[in-house]
Structure 1
Amino acid sequence: MKSAVSNALTIDVEDYFQVSALASHFPRAQWDAVPCRVEANVDRILSLLHEYGAKATFFTLGWVAERYPKLVRLIVMEGHELASHGYGHERASAQTPEAFRADVSLAKAVLEDISGVEIRGYRAPSFSVGAKNLWAHDVLRETGHSYSSSVYPIAHDHYGMPDSPRFPYYLTNGLLEIPVTTVRWAGRNWPAGGGGYFRLLPYPVSRWSLRRVNELDKRSAIFYFHPWEIDPAQPRVDAADARTKFRHYVNLEHMEGRLRRLLGDFAWDRVDQVFLPKA
């Protein structure tokens, strides 16, 4: 039986060659020369969501939006929320406040100009807002964003702020931060909000975790994945190290089937509909 609690489904719209772990193999200056697969993959996701009657939020790179404006308009036309993933997929933690301001301002302007809708939300690439760059929340508020989903309250080798709140909270500046969902078990936070963990672990683990959040914590969850994760035919980077290849390619061939189970087991909606106050 499908859960009665509405959860927020999110897609980080970036292509396979733009992920942080593969940055050394795809320099930014060469992106335009790399065959893109994001348009076809997002089309597949839109069809899947339509099939299950689900809505979602698409955190979209400005770089992608400029090259595929019809895709951005289709996301909006299908009733999904369009939000920002920054312009060029550079980690917030790797930027100065001035560079970060320029990046998020440009992305917001590009997305709004193409779509004709207000961009209220932002997600930092690789969840790169943490204890050392909390100033990013102030920049986001100053540039007109209403919410962020950029903090992952887990311990991870590339990101994470395990001592931060597990559920949405307002900053003193009025910005709402919506952390990616974790489950509390054995005295620590465990990832439950998607990404590589969703591909790595058996599906029942994710189902148990999300149900625990809905039923025990009595809270809505926020879940994420990427378009390249449903694309097992994507070009492989043989020169990548073993850890990177494992994280990026594990169980890609099973991802669509797992998403179908997820869409069937839980109720999914846009971030703004699940977490933001109704006007």
Structure 2
Amino acid sequence: MRNGLSVDVEDWFQVGAFERTIDRADWPTLECRVEANCDAVLQMFAEAGVHGTFFTLGWVAERYPALIRRIVAAGHELASHGYDHKRVFQMSADDFAADLKKARAILEDLGGVAVRGYRAPSFSIDARTPWAHPILAEQGYAYSSSVAPVVHDHYGWPQSPRHAWRPVADSDLVEWPVTTARAFGRTLAAGGGGFMRLLPYGFTRWAIRRMNAEGHPAILYFHPWEIDPGQPRVTDAPLKSKIRHYSGLSAMAGKLKQLLADFEWTRADALLPAQQERARPWRAAA
């Protein structure tokens, strides 16, 4: 079974773990490493013969237009990660609509391709944002991969389905949650990122096999900064944030290479027709 591989294109200083430590106004003054790290990811994918989806911040695209063109030229899907990594539940509905339009216009202008997919920063579509999916549908997005159906201190919508579902009546929009696994009566986060860095690789492999055994493709994600152990350290960040962000950086590239070898991977949009066919409507209980 082919699985969906995705990259959330953002730099080390734009992550949720540091949002209360690093001021957005200081972003332009910090060392940007996203282009070099993305090029390393592109090389890794090329060597493995793999294509994926790059959910990209508009902020990054504006500053590295040649990177956007390289992503598209290499055969990868270009998708939106919003403009500047503001969480959806921190915006109003109007602000969210404007953010979507701004990021998409930048990406489509630079990439020369239609942007059909969206991933909310920090998986921040949840029960607090009932207006988010209708706005995505209104703007013509084909799919979102913005929900984590787990319990987590930073995000999560644990009541939502684990597999692709239709959030808006009379719309083809599909919400395709990041991969989870069921064990011991619990839903475990297993979609990549920090969970892949912090846990043994065998856990990720087991979770993908479980998802495939259920008859569904997995969808995994990671960030370019996660293969960059030499990135700057944010010394004044909370200890919990530093542990989350810096643990396992030196091992991540090796885990990714093993992942690329162990499973079949493709772009999210290549798997979308099957997800649309199988997705069923779901609404949160009032």
Pair 1:253 & 2:250 matched: yes
Rounded to whole Å, the distance in 2 between the matches of 1:276 and 1:55 is 17
Residue number in structure 1 paired with 2:202: 204
Q: Which amino acid aligns with 1:150?
A: S
> Structure 1 residue 233: deviation in Å?
0.1
Rounded to whole Å, the distance in 2 between the matches of 1:134 and 1:68 is 33
Return 188-197 or 60-69, whichever deviates more: 188-197
Residue number in structure 1 paired with 2:148: 152
Q: Which runs of 5+ in 1 are unaligned?
A: none
TM-score normalised to structure 2 length = 0.94
Q: What is the CA deviation profile of residues 49-92 of structure 1, one whole-angstrom value per residue up to 9, with x for unaligned ones? A: 00001110000000000000000011000000000000011000
For residue 55 of structure 2, give the secondary structure of its aligned residue in structure 1.
strand
Return 15-24 or 52-61, whichever deviates more: 15-24
Rounded to whole Å, the distance in 2 between the matches of 1:153 and 1:276 is 22
Counterpart selection for 2:176 from 166, 175, 178: 178
> Structure 1 residue 25: deviation in Å?
2.5
Rounded to whole Å, the distance in 1 between the matches of 2:20 and 2:163 is 34
> Structure 1 residue 192: deviation in Å?
1.4
RMSD: 1.0
Q: Which amino acid aligns with 1:253?
A: S
Q: Report the number of matched residues.
A: 273
Residue number in structure 1 paired with 2:112: 116
Rounded to whole Å, the distance in 2 between the matches of 1:142 and 1:112 is 18
For residue 224 of structure 1, give the secondary structure of its aligned residue in structure 2.
strand
Rounded to whole Å, the distance in 1 between the matches of 2:57 and 2:166 is 25
Rounded to whole Å, the distance in 1 between the matches of 2:131 and 2:173 is 12
Pair 1:91 & 2:60 matched: no
Pair 1:141 & 2:147 matched: no
Rounded to whole Å, the distance in 1 between the matches of 2:172 and 2:155 is 24
Q: What is the CA deviation profile of residues 226-248 of structure 1, one whole-angstrom value per residue up to 9, with x for unaligned ones? A: 00000000000111111000000
Rounded to whole Å, the distance in 1 between the matches of 2:99 and 2:173 is 18
For residue 235 of structure 2, give the secondary structure of its aligned residue in structure 1.
coil
Q: Where in structure 1 do 4 or more consecutive aligned residues deviate above 6 Å?
A: none
Rounded to whole Å, the distance in 1 between the matches of 2:65 and 2:242 is 31
Q: Which runs of 5+ in 2 are unaligned?
A: 277-286
Pair 1:27 & 2:46 matched: no
Residue number in structure 2 paired with 1:162: 158
> Structure 1 residue 276: deviation in Å?
3.1
Matches within 5 A, 1:1-279: 5-171=1-167, 172=169, 173-215=171-213, 217-276=214-273
> Structure 1 residue 143: deviation in Å?
1.6
> Structure 1 residue 274: deviation in Å?
1.4
> Structure 1 residue 213: deviation in Å?
1.0
Q: What is the CA deviation profile of residues 92-139 of structure 1, one whole-angstrom value per residue up to 9, with x for unaligned ones? A: 010000111111110000100111100000000000000110210011
Q: Which amino acid aligns with 1:195?
A: G
> Structure 1 residue 144: deviation in Å?
2.1
Rounded to whole Å, the distance in 1 between the matches of 2:52 and 2:16 is 23
> Structure 1 residue 27: deviation in Å?
1.1
Q: Which amino acid aligns with 1:198?
A: M
> Structure 1 residue 24: deviation in Å?
2.4
Residue number in structure 1 paired with 2:283: none
